[in-house]
Chains A and B, each alone.
Chain A
């Protein structure tokens, strides 16, 4: 491979990398945020914050979930159809099982 060809290949490779999405630094930052949020979740389970505990924990869990789906699974930059396929399954699961748990009076017992 000549120097020119090599340079061209490197530039093409770099373009693909940029075109494909974020730099690796972005992924490291997302991973750091996920680690911090997990640490916060664990910390919350050791301190008594009363009624705020459950909603706060659920919010942290959903932030982590959405971060992985949008950033690591690249759904934020992907085709709308993939969004519909995944989120329809996820939302359907939530609705079906909230309904199922409600028939067992789960929320009344809680």
Chain B
């Protein structure tokens, strides 16, 4: 009984059970919805990655992957995004320990790393355009920009979520369990990272 009360008071545990005894599954509905959303996102990115794989060799006019990709530059971008996953998990860890000052700090660092990644992507797109690869130049160009553009938009949405969360934490306007809200944003952020893990290998490292 005392354990149940303690769990109810913290409103959170590592199995997503805490304080959610009133739901039919005994799990947090918010977390359930987030995992369901991420599962469905796999299908979205699966479609975009497969389309790219199918069309990456179709560039009768304009440059192909070998002429535009810069592996060293993209490797640094990938490293930045990977490290943002570390700072995000540190934010979740701090939130679970109720260290809100640390949480806000790590969330801000995560957003800055994400912004660095998006900045790198904008620079990369500009460079590719200068080399003659526009959105409608070839099927390779269209499928590449669609895939990486969709990912970039996801990262941007993640940055907005992170900054909004920092603002809400500062204003003490986060409803319910703060640690769970940070964890939900973290799940989305890590998902964006794992999608990039796939894109980096399948799009950039495997030659067309």
Contacts and interface: CB of A to CB of B under 8 A. Distances in A.
Contact of B14 (A34, A77, A88): A77
A91 to B, nearest CB: 9
Nearest to B75: A42
Contacts of B49: 97
Interface string A45-65: 110000000100110110011
12 contacts: A17-B93, A17-B96, A20-B12, A24-B93, A61-B202, A68-B197, A77-B14, A81-B25, A86-B42, A87-B39, A93-B45, A97-B47
B82 A38 contact: yes
Interface of A: 13-14, 16-17, 19-21, 24, 27-28, 30-31, 34-35, 38, 41-42, 44-46, 54, 57-58, 60-61, 64-65, 68-69, 71-74, 77-79, 81-82, 85-90, 92-94, 96-97, 100-101, 104, 106
A93 B42 contact: yes
Nearest to A92: B43
Most buried by A among B54, B78, B98, B194: B194
Interface stretch (B83-91, B119-127, B144-152, B153-161): B83-91
Interface of B: 10, 12-17, 25, 27, 31-32, 35-36, 38-43, 45-47, 49-50, 53-54, 71, 75, 78-79, 82-83, 85-86, 88-90, 92-93, 96-99, 179, 183, 186-187, 190-191, 193-194, 197-198, 200-202, 205-206
Given A74-B14, A90-B42, A97-B47, A85 B35 contact: yes
